C-alpha cells in the first residue's frame, strides 16, 4: 500500500464502465444537445457581470484582449479535453482523466478542485441572478414605488449598503432569491437530463439572440473616446471594498483575462455528460469545441461594444451589479426596451448556467462515489428518473450556503482559479497518455502534442498569476483541506486500493 496513492485506474476498466450504460444514465444527448449544453453553461454571469467588473477594475477597453487570452487558454485546454472525452467517454470529466493518467491522489485533488469550479460557480451565478431579479422587479411599480426585495434579504451578511455620505443604511442578512433559484434548478435536475436539456435549449436560443441584438444594435452607439487609449496606462485601482487591482498595462490585461475567464467556465462541464450522450466518441469533441468557438466570437464582439458604450467610470460607479442594462438604457437612445429585455434574458441565462454547473458537480461526485473516494450516497441513482438525486440534494445544501451567505465577488474568483488548475492537469494528462499509452484508440487527437498541452499549461498558469496572491492562498487552503480528507477517508475506502485487480 506504500505507493497506493499513485495507482491508476485501468483504462480497460474505465472503457468497460462506459459500455455498461444499461445500469446507469439514459443516453439522450445529441451533438447539438451537447453544444447547447456548453453554450448554456458558458453564456451567463461571466459575460453579463464579470465583463463589466474587468472593464472597471482591470483593463478598461482592452478587456477584449483579456477575452482573447482567456479564449486561447480555453481552446488549448478544450483540445485536450476533446481527446480525453473521445478516448474515455464516461462521467467525471477531468477527475476521470486524471485517475487514468496520473493516479488516485491527483484524481482526488482534481475532483476536490472541481467543487470550486462547479459548486462555487453555481453559487456565484445564483448571487448574480438575485441581483438581476431586483433590477427586473424595479421596472414594475406598486403605489408609485418600484418593486424590490429588501437589501437585507438579497445580500450576504458581509455586505453593507452605504449612502453617498458613506453612512451605513442597510446590512445584508441572507440572500433568499439566490437560495431559491438553486433549489428550483436542483428539482429540475432530479427530474431528468432530457427535461433539463430541453429547458436549457430554449434558454440558449433566447440569450444568444439577445447577445447578438446587443452587438448589432449597439455597434452604432460606440463612442470612440471610450476606446482611447485602448490599453490604459498601468496604475493601481482600489475598489469600493478596498481591494487593490492592477489596472491597465500587461498586468491589467492578465488580471482581466483571469476575471473574464469565469465567462468560459462550464464548457468543460460538457465532458461530464459523456454517459448521457448518444454517440460520445464522435459527439463529445463537437460539443466541447463547438460551444467554445461560438462563445469566444460572441464574447469578443460583446465586450468591444459594451466597453465602447459607457465609460470606465460608469462601470465603477453607476452600473455595478447590472452594468449591461445600465449601459444600454443610458447610451442607446430609443432602445430602453432592450435594457429590460436583456434583464429577462440574463435571468434565464443565469438559470441555465446554474443548471449545467450543478449537473456537472453531481456527475463528478457520481464517479467518485462509484470509485469509493466519497460515500456511496453520491452515486445512488433515482429508481425512476436515473439521476443522482441524493448528490443533487447534498450539493443544494452546500451551494445554498455559499449563495445565501457569501459575497459574489469572492466566490467568482475562487471558481476561476479552481478551473484554471483543472485545465492545467488535463493538458498535462493528455501529454502523459500519448507517451505511456500511444496504442489506445482516439477518435479525436489533440494536434501538435506536446506543444498544445505545454502552451495550455503556460497560458492557464499566466491567468492564475494574474488573479493575485489572495486567490492563490484560497486555492492552497482549499487543497490543504482536500488532502486531509483524502488521507483520513478516501484512501482507506478507495475501491482501487481494496482490489488489487482493478488498477495498473
Q: Please give the pLDDT value at position 261.
A: 81
What angle, 0 to 180 degrees and rounded to 10, lies between the N-to-C axes of helices 469-485 and 408-436? 60
Q: Please give the pLDDT value at position 219.
A: 94
Nearest one of 471, 467, 493, 34 to 255, comparing CA atoms: 467
Q: Please give the pLDDT value at position 20.
A: 58
Q: Which helix (H) or strand (E) holds 32?
A: helix 31-42
Q: How far is CA 196 from the centre of its chain?
A: 18
Q: Please give the pLDDT value at position 215.
A: 93
Q: Does position 442 have pLDDT exceeding 90, yes or no?
A: no
Q: Phi, psi at residue 238, to the nearest 5°?
A: -105, 120
57 CB-contact burial (10 Å; exposed 0-12 / middle 13-18 / buried 19+): buried
Cell of 261: 475567464
Alpha-carbon distances, residue 235 vs 246, 314, 465, 466 (angstroms): 6, 18, 18, 15
* Dihedral angle sign, alpha carbons of residues 29, 299, 93, 368: negative
Q: Please give the pLDDT value at position 227.
A: 93
Q: Please give the pLDDT value at position 321.
A: 55
Most confident of 173-182, 426-435, 468-477: 173-182
Q: Please give the pLDDT value at position 2.
A: 44
Cell of 494: 478507495
Nearest one of 210, 232, 241, 216 to 63, comparing CA atoms: 232
| Residue range 465-470: mean pLDDT, rounded | 81
Q: Please give the pLDDT value at position 42.
A: 75
Q: Please give the pLDDT value at position 22.
A: 43
% of the chain exceeding 90 in pLDDT:
16
Tens of pLDDT along 59-100?
A: 889 999 999 998 888 888 888 888 887 777 666 567 887 888
The band of 186, judged by pLDDT with boundaries at 50, 70 and 90, is: very high
Q: Which residue has the higher pLDDT, 210 or 274?
A: 210
Asked if 101 and 108 count as a contact pair (C-beta separation under 8 A), the reply is no
Asked if 207 and 159 count as a contact pair (C-beta separation under 8 A), the reply is no
All structural domains of the chain, each given as residue ranges with its CATH number in brackets, are 4-493 (1.20.1740.10)
Nearest one of 120, 127, 175, 168 to 149, comparing CA atoms: 175
Tens of pLDDT along 219-233?
A: 999 999 999 899 998
Q: Which residues of 474-502 are buried (b: 16+ CB within 10 A; e: fewer)?
A: bbeebbeebeeebeeebbeebebbeeeee
3-state secondary structure of 47: helix
Q: Does position 15 have pLDDT exceeding 80, yes or no?
A: no
Q: Please give the pLDDT value at position 453.
A: 95
% of the chain exceeding 70 in pLDDT:
88
Report d(CA 450, CA 337) in Å as an integer.
Answer: 50
Tens of pLDDT along 139-168?
A: 888 888 888 899 899 888 888 877 777 777
Q: Which residue has the higher pLDDT, 410 or 372?
A: 372
The band of 502, judged by pLDDT with boundaries at 50, 70 and 90, is: very low
Q: Please give the pLDDT value at position 194.
A: 66
The band of 181, judged by pLDDT with boundaries at 50, 70 and 90, is: very high
Q: Which pTM was predicted?
A: 0.77
* Cβ atoms < 10 Å from Cβ of 458: 13
Q: Does position 504 have pLDDT exceeding 70, yes or no?
A: no
| Residue range 39-48: mean pLDDT, rounded | 72
Kindly report the CA angle at 143 between 139 and 146, in degrees rounded to 5? 25
Tens of pLDDT along 282-304?
A: 777 788 888 888 888 999 999 99
Cell of 258: 483571469
What angle, 0 to 180 degrees and rounded to 10, lies between the N-to-C axes of helices 389-405 and 176-191? 170
| The pairing of beta strand 235-238 with beta strand 244-247 | antiparallel
Q: Please give the pLDDT value at position 351.
A: 85
The band of 1, judged by pLDDT with boundaries at 50, 70 and 90, is: very low
Tens of pLDDT along 296-340?
A: 899 999 999 999 998 888 888 775 556 788 888 889 888 888 888
Q: Please give the pLDDT value at position 322.
A: 65
The band of 406, judged by pLDDT with boundaries at 50, 70 and 90, is: confident
Report d(CA 390, CA 386) in Å as an integer.
Answer: 11
Lowest mean pLDDT among 183-187, 447-451, 461-465, 498-502: 498-502
Report d(CA 278, CA 21) in Å as an integer.
Answer: 11
Amino acid at each position: 500500500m506504500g505507493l497506493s496513492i499513485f495507482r491508476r485506474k485501468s483504462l480497460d476498466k474505465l472503457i468497460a464502465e462506459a459500455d455498461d450504460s444499461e445500469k446507469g444514465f439514459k443516453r439522450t444527448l445529441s451533438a447539438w444537445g451537447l453544444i447547447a449544453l456548453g453554450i448554456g453553461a458558458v453564456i451567463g454571469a461571466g459575460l453579463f457581470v464579470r465583463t463589466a467588473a474587468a472593464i472597471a477594475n482591470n483593463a478598461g477597453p482592452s478587456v477584449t484582449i483579456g477575452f482573447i487570452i482567456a479564449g486561447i487558454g480555453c481552446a488549448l485546454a478544450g483540445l485536450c479535453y476533446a481527446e480525453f472525452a473521445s478516448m474515455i467517454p464516461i462521467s467525471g470529466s477531468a477527475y476521470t482523466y486524471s485517475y487514468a493518467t496520473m493516479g488516485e491522489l491527483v484524481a482526488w485533488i482534481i475532483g476536490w478542485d472541481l467543487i470550486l469550479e462547479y459548486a462555487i460557480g453555481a453559487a456565484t451565478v445564483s448571487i448574480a441572478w438575485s441581483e438581476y431579479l431586483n433590477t427586473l422587479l424595479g421596472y414594475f411599480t406598486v403605489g408609485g414605488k418600484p418593486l424590490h426585495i429588501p437589501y437585507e434579504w438579497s445580500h450576504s451578511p458581509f455586505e453593507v449598503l452605504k449612502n453617498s455620505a458613506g453612512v451605513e443604511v442597510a446590512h445584508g442578512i441572507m440572500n433568499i432569491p439566490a437560495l431559491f433559484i438553486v433549489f428550483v434548478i436542483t428539482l429540475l435536475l432530479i427530474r431528468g437530463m432530457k427535461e433539463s436539456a430541453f429547458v436549457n435549449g430554449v434558454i440558449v436560443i433566447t440569450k444568444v439572440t439577445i447577445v447578438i441584438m446587443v452587438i448589432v444594435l449597439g455597434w452604432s452607439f460606440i463612442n470612440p473616446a471610450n476606446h482611447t487609449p485602448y490599453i490604459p496606462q498601468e496604475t493601481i485601482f482600489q475598489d469600493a471594498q478596498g481591494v487593490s487591482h492592477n489596472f491597465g498595462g500587461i498586468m491589467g490585461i492578465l488580471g482581466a483575462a483571469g476575471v473574464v475567464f469565469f465567462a468560459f467556465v462550464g464548457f468543460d462541464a460538457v465532458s461530464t455528460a459523456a454517459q448521457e450522450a448518444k454517440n460520445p466518441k464522435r459527439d463529445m469533441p463537437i460539443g466541447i469545441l463547438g460551444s467554445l468557438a461560438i462563445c469566444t466570437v460572441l464574447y469578443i464582439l460583446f465586450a468591444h461594444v459594451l466597453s465602447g458604450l459607457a465609460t470606465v467610470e460608469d462601470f465603477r460607479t453607476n452600473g455595478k451589479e447590472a452594468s449591461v442594462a445600465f449601459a444600454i438604457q443610458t447610451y442607446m437612445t430609443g432602445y430602453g426596451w432592450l435594457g429590460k429585455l436583456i434583464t429577462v434574458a440574463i435571468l434565464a441565462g443565469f438559470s441555465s448556467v446554474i443548471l449545467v454547473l450543478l449537473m456537472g458537480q453531481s456527475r463528478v461526485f457520481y464517479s467518485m462515489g462509484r470509485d469509493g473516494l466519497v460515500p456511496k450516497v453520491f452515486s445512488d441513482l433515482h429508481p425512476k428518473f436515473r439521476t443522482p438525486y441524493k448528490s443533487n440534494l447534498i450539493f443544494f445544501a452546500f451551494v445554498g450556503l455559499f449563495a445565501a451567505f457569501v459575497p459574489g465577488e469572492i466566490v467568482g474568483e475562487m471558481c476561476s482559479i479552481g478551473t484554471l488548475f483543472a485545465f492545467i492537469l488535463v493538458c498535462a494528462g493528455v501529454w502523459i497518455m500519448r507517451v505511456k499509452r500511444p496504442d489506445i484508440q482516439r477518435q479525436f487527437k489533440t494536434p501538435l502534442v506536446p506543444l498544445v498541452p505545454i502552451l495550455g499549461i503556460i497560458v492557464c498558469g499566466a491567468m492564475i498569476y494574474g488573479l493575485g496572491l489572495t486567490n492563490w492562498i484560497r486555492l492552497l487552503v482549499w487543497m490543504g483541506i482536500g488532502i486531509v480528507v483524502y488521507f483520513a477517508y478516501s484512501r482507506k475506502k478507495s475501491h482501487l486500493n481494496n482490489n488489487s485487480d482493478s488498477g495498473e
